[in-house]
Amino acid sequence: MTHLEIYNELVADMPKLNIRASTLMTKVVKAFHKVHQFPSWQCYEYTHQESNNKYLISYYAGSAKQVDKPEVDYIGLVNDTYGKVIIKWQPWCFSEDLTKGSVFIKSLGYYRGHFFSRYRERVWPNDKISPNELICRYFTRNQRTIPIQLSEEIKRGYEQYGPFQYGMDVPDGICLTDQFFEGGDITMSEDNNNKVYVVFYNTIINRGLLNKGQTEAIDIEGKEYVHDHIMGPIRKAYMKRLQSLPAYLSPPFLNDKK
């Protein structure tokens, strides 16, 4: 399958995922009411009957005030000859520069078990967390994702991980990635519906392992990206586009504002 076919199949499964998540909600809320320490997560595996795709349905309560309306997220699970692959899909806002507006493109993120082994080791060295909860924690905590170019300063001391040129700055650290566009480069003047932004997440480095110079270089890269691709008209276009998405594709905070 192409990445575009994978993306479209995952999106097509979402209405049934939404139904299953709603069916489980009563059970989830009862369980959260018994919890005494927050934040708290609950994770359930689900197999879509028609597509046979497997998913994690993640429920998150950040505090006791959230137990009746926990956040819900969906995470794809695939097994291949090399082990488990975790897949995250979402629309991605892209712009060449602020003067040309923005477009939304499809994006897929792939994570192997090695990534989450390093995430446990470097961020959550707690054996009491199940593998599924660890995955759910990562995606709840790292919704802010900023692409950065890995300068020589940032990569210093971590060259052994590979010749990575790009990474993702997330709240829990820096992800070393391989990235490309399937279907050709994104342009502002052409139809990008058959193009996919593909990101392979190879490993994560806790910011505590980086020196001051590396941290400052990452912050500079992140600020430049936010200024060039998110501020001003991009942010307005982003919010307008999200408001027009079907309910099962829209972030929960938008669905609540009616």
C-alpha to C-alpha distance for 197 and 208, rounded to whole angstroms: 29
Model pLDDT for residues 2-44, shown as the tens digit of each residue: 999 999 999 999 999 999 999 999 999 999 999 999 999 999 9
The residue ranges of the chain whose pLDDT is under 70 are 81-82, 94-102, 158-162, 188-189, 222-258
118 CB-near residues (< 8 Å, 6+ apart): 203, 204
Amino acid 95: pLDDT: 65
> Residues of 208-240 as b/e, b for ≥16 C-beta within 10 angstroms?
eebeeebeebbeebeeeeeeebeeeebeebbee
Amino acid 25: pLDDT: 97
The 10 Å Cβ neighbour count of residue 26 is 9
* pTM to 2 decimal places: 0.82
CB 168 within 8 A of CB 177: yes
Model pLDDT for residues 55-74, shown as the tens digit of each residue: 999 999 999 999 999 999 99
3-state secondary structure of 230: coil
C-alpha to C-alpha distance for 124 and 117, rounded to whole angstroms: 10
Q: Strand order of the sheet with strand 103-112?
A: 40-47, 54-61, 71-80, 83-94, 103-112, 196-205, 173-182, 166-170, 146-149
